[in-house]
Structure 1
Amino acid sequence: MKKQVPLSNWLLKPLRWIRKIRGFRLVYTPLVYTPLMAIVIFTAVMGVILGTLQLQEKNQQEAALFRELVFAKQRIQLRFNSNADSLLAISRELAASNDEMKVRANALQQAETLLGDEHEIRKLFWLNKNNEVQWVAQANRNKKDLGLGDGQSAEQINLVKESLRKTINISQATGQPAYSQFVALDDKQVDPIVREKRIIFWQVVPISNGLDNLGVIAALYSTQGILDVIPAELKAQYRFTLMTDNDRVLAISSDRDTPKRAFSNQTSLDIGVLSPNLTLRIDTYPAPTNLTFRMLVGVVLGLSAFVIWSLWSVLKQMQVRQEAEANLKAETNFRNAMEDSTPVGIRGHAMDGRITYVNKAFCEMTGWEEKDLIGLKPPFPFWPEDKKDAQEEQMNLALNPKHYHEMKEGIRGIIVRHDGSPIDTRTFIAPLVNEKGIQNGWVTTVIDITESTKVREKLAASQERFITVLEGLDAAVSVVSIETGALLFANRFYRERFGDDSKGHFDLVGGQMAHHAMQELTEESSDQNPGIPPSALYQESESEEIQLIGDSSKWYEVRRRFIPWVDESLAQLLIATDITARKESDELTRQQEEKMQFTSRLTTMGEMASSLAHELNQPLSAISNYCMGVAKRLQGSTEVDIPRDILPALEKASEQAVRAGTIIQRIRGFVKRSELQRKLCSIADIINDAVGLVEIEANRHRLSIVSSVTENLPEVPVDPVLVLQVLVNLLKNALDSMREAYPSSSRWSAPPVKITADLDTSTFPAMLRIQVSDTGGGISEAVIERMFEPFFSTKAEGMGMGLNICRSIIESHHGRLWAKNQMDAERTKLSGCTFTILLPLESSESRETENERNSQTKPS
């Protein structure tokens, strides 16, 4: 059945249209209905009345117009019929009489009488059977021609005669009166302003006695004269137009213009059997002003404007209220949209627990429709059958104002969907307070935690598998809190080796001092970046090899890093792998390398033997010469000032002798084989010994060595002989690079080989840094990658063990050795190479001793 639309909806459409234009938001109340309906009804009634009057007046005007048109048509047709009868009478009289003179006089008199009564006929002609003019009847008898008037061209006269000839042929062929086509004539008078264009046509009536054709009567019609048949009073009220069937205007009663909405009508004229098709059109002139009708329209418009103004005033007064209601509606729509779009189910309860509201998400969650849930009281149908009592008791407890604060973490429960499938939920309850601050119900939010529960279970299973893997590792894995120092996690390997406390963890990272240093570093980083742990703390440190001294000395490879723990606190993760077996193997390898180092030192001394012999001869010869000179001087001189001359010579001889002894002592110490014996040494002394050993060869090749040692450097626990061997080897390599880069003639101006010693504070803890730099040709990248490999050498006579032994010596001191090329100022080519040595400031044994000392002093 089609739904009926209330009438008020149709009546309110104009007001809605006004509201769209003006931007008003209206609330349709009876206060608005009353003036609105009054406007609509009044306007409708007055519109009907005015429309009826207008339509009635229009119908009356059209009826009067039609009557006048029919009257004019009848007048014209009667005139043509009368003219036709008169012409037929004249033709019959000419055909029946034998007295030509008498007939001609009578016919001419009848014709003139006809011309005097009818204005549309301009002339009458009697033409015999040879088309010769017998007489002409016209109003102006001074003209004896066709009556075309002055000023007509020969072309127009021929056109009129040709039209007459064709009409005569048609009439004689049919034996009936015939009409010609319309011919337009231009009257060219002296004054071109009064020039007139006339349209004429012929009517031909045949003259016949039944057997012979005796000629014709030709009447010359003027189309303008046809309109003269219409009474003058009609032409004063209407405009008549004579047209052909193709809307060609033949004559018009007046040149006055008609209004745009003038009434008009037209009809066809039937003036004869063989007549042309003529149409008579009638148009109305503007009617006189209808003051009464206009006053009525003005009154209606004025009253409508007054009522609209009154309604507008009411609407303006209601605007504030309408805006408030619109804002409330928008807020309500926004709240409904929020409630419908949220994935959290929302229920509203009365104080007795009855459901008063459910949102779309809750209906989708449970599969129940809103109409099935509104008004239900506990127990609800979406509770499991076996848990309804427990959940009802739990809900009653939560809805109690005294206890609902205790359930801020929500209520864990199960909801059964309409199809029977269960889902895990967590429900939160809050009081529902109205605008007066009075609680009138409860609102509960229900969250589906089925997926999160499954994810939690999967995470628990994954964690269990991960812990199983960690328990099976043959490495100690431990996590210690940075703040408290408590052991947070330890796997089976750690517990078997170090127990269930964090002592073993700290022993592997450097004892309690390391723990305090980590705490201070963390606090400083937190102060610089509050709330955000520094990213550098989470980078994994390089592996370290730690030896624990105890019942059984064990070596461990330790890797550690800082990690955020599950409670967002900072913790340290440590992975320690037992490398005792590998260290024992490395010790055997080290012993073999020591033998190779001894052999290398002997080889180095062999290379230096010739230089040493040459250099030692010079100071010894000087000593000999000084001594011989002194002896001769003393023997042959009796002067008292002899001691002043002798003393400087003796001092120089003594210096040269000391220098020769020092060189020999250093050579003996270098050649002598010794075990790795650490002792606290000054790195400046070791560097000076190295420079003294190599400086002889440098001077021989016109090169120089410059040393730079930072003041107040701490003593380091090293084997001085082995470290001296490394520095001598590196200085010799630097001199070889300088010899290849500079020719012999320019070596005195070449930059010196530099050896420096300082502290490297970029590492933690700080380390001693020794650098040997030259300005030679540098080392290619391919050689740098392999230069520390055994038996790899770029020298034809080299064994390829020097740099390998040097790295082994430095690594046996727990240090590092590497090489890096230098670039020139334009960074286009190599300009030398720098070898860098990093040595710890304290040995692992001293660190163990310090740890034991700290553990002994720690209170029980």
Structure 2
Amino acid sequence: MSHTPPATTPPWWKRWWRRLPPSRQDRFATLGPLLAVLLFLAAIVVAIAYLRFEEIDREREAVTRDVEYAQQRLRLRLLERQEQLMRLAREIDNQALDTEEFAFQAETLVSQFPELLAITWVDSRRRVLSGYTSPSAPVALMRSVGSSLSPSETDGSFDLARDLRQPIYSRPLADNDPRSARLMLHVPLSEQGRFAGTVMGEYSVDGLMRFGMPPEIMARYAVALLDDSGTVLAGSLQTAEPVLSFLPWSTPSLEHEVPVSPVGNGLILKAQGYRTSQDIVGSGFVGVIGALSALTVWMLIGTWRHTRRRVQAQQALVAETNFRRAMENSMLTGMRALDMQGRITYVNPAFCSMTGWTEAELVGRTAPFPYWPEEDHELLHARLEDELNGRSTPGGFEVRVRRRNGTVFDARMYVSPLIDPKGHQTGWMTSMTDITEPKRIREELSASYERFTTVLESLDSAVSVAPLGSEELLFANKMYRLWFGTRGQGHRHLVDLAGNQPQPSMDDADPVDAFAGMPTGTLTDAGVENAEVFVQELDRWLEVRTRYLTWVDGRLAQMVIASDITPRRAAEEQAARQTERAQTASRLITMGEMASSVAHELNQPLTAISNYCTGIISRLQEQRISPEEMLVALDKTARQAQRAGQIIQRIRAFVKRSEPNPTLSDVAQMVNNAIELADIELRRQQVRLTPYVAARLPALMVDPILIEQVLINLLKNAGESIVQAGRPLGERLVELRVAPRQLDGEGVVEFEVRDSGKGVPDEMIERIYEAFYSTKSEGMGIGLKLCRSIVESHHGRMRMENLYNGTEVTGCCFSFWIPVAPRLQPQGSSDTAANEPLTDTERAR
């Protein structure tokens, strides 16, 4: 019995290879040799780099070992000198040395060891007792006996030796040239347990380098002594980097540094290996291998690119064919081709979709075609004859087309000859577009235009549009034609009156368009500009609004809308006159209410004048007065008369009716004038007024009489509120505060009146500014209304708030502020200000 061996499954990589298309298989087959060459080159480079890194590691170990050996030699030399100085210190401590013997031994040591510059005996007060300095030492080290060392000379090492009682090395010290740096060693001295000074030895850093460094180290390396900031103090270092240092076989800079003990991190020994020549043989070997590998890679890439171009050409041909077919199928315009006899040879899917017939049902058909409406056969036959004979209009023609389901739509057809690659005409190509929706939109736009024109014609305002710098009138409604006729002079006249006509530049003027180069985008984006003008020809006040726009033909135009505001201007003037009369009446009422207080205030100077005059007459009759005494009495009488006159002049100025006159006014003077009048009534009511006026307040562009009226009204109301609240005399207080502030980034001056009355009930707060509404039984209700109108006419604001102590109302605060910026112009100051339209609050004034 035979057995069929089971089918074995090929490995995964074979299955993956078989699933790839031939083009991908060719690409992977080409990449195999390329990858092998690159791997071979990488292996050579890695091997050379590994061997080079091994060599560099050995060289670095040698540098480290030699530098540490040199550091030990320097350390031993420093320790030997330190031991000799400590021996001198012990002899001084044992009083075995005097200053002369110390100088002799110091001279012996300095002469024997060239790195020593000086040895000095310094007492606890830094005075030099004895010492010796090498003749080759700098002049700054030549210290005389009895001189003192400054703290900067020892760099704090003297203090450390005193505190720690052990030898201390200083940081390397250099005056100007780092090459003249020196070290200090302070060995402390003690006398019966107390610090008695130091034996100070000074080393030349350059001498340590020259006499303490082993010659074999100096021959093999560039050696230098550095401070903690890296400054070279002795020796020299290499600075240039090796050429091609980034290559693995290049020679890197070999260096090593260690701190010199026992000095510490303040003195560092650094050595650099002298650079040898580049490995020319190794570099050349690697270069040859790289060049051969690059050549092989270039040949493989060339073969791969040639194969890829062939594949790309095939793919481009297929893609072009598919693209043209997709473009024809995705077009929304129907395409139909006819031969020279009028037979359909081609239709695209859009044409079939429009008509409802398939390509098979249309190709090969002759007239009459199935998509022709029966009632239009004669017309369409004539159109076809014109098309076949080349008499079609370039702009196309409009026809009706019937769908397969019987519905009819409007279409527009364009005809062009069909030329083959040899230049011969083989038929006619017709494109068809469904214009049913555009035609409907065009009809709706026409109806909308008619409605729009009807609305504009029925407006009570004159509307006109004209190009800039031209008297041509692009549009004018019925009201414009009624006022100004059918020409553009009226439009130009309104623009000139409103002052909104831009002036063309006279430099390099364009002979065609004087406004060429103007920023039309900025003009059309700008908002509407308003102006109120008086037209003498019509005897009317008109509100003129202008706006720049781009006309339908692309020209920059200006639209003007003029509305008749003559009745409104008359009403505003009447309201302004009524407001002015109300302000004068309010001041008269205020003075009437304060009449008794003013009379009492005037009675005092008049009584004083009468008394002075009676006394003078009596003493003159008795001849008991000297000329000097008479002059004093007459001077006092004159001052009282002046005081009475000032009160009367202030009252007359306050109640005098005059036109509003904003001027630059001093705030302190306005406040003082208001206090003089208001304080009369407050003193009668036994209310104490406390003013707080800030220094150096800016001048305000206001009408001072109107601002004084507001302040007097608020102060009088505050006093009446305190009296109505029945406050005891000690609590009858009114505060007037005037100070500058910043409000929304704008500088203002705030006026604040605080009283200790009973405040304003919550239900009345919303109505206190209403006309003829008052919280007082005898009030007329126009005071606060006028106050707020006056403040707002000066571009300010007024507010009110109750003052609380817990839940109890302890008073009321009225405040208003006036902007510092001179928004109001003085009367007659400029013609521009007189022509500017007034705001509502300014008209109220």
Query: Do they fold alike, i.e. is TM over 0.5?
Result: no
Q: Which of the five TM-score ranges fits, normalised by the shorter chain?
A: 0.3 to 0.5
Query: Which of these two proteins has the greater Rg computed from alpha carbons?
Result: 1
Tell me the TM-score normalised to structure 2 length.
Answer: 0.44
Tell me the TM-score normalised to structure 1 length.
Answer: 0.44
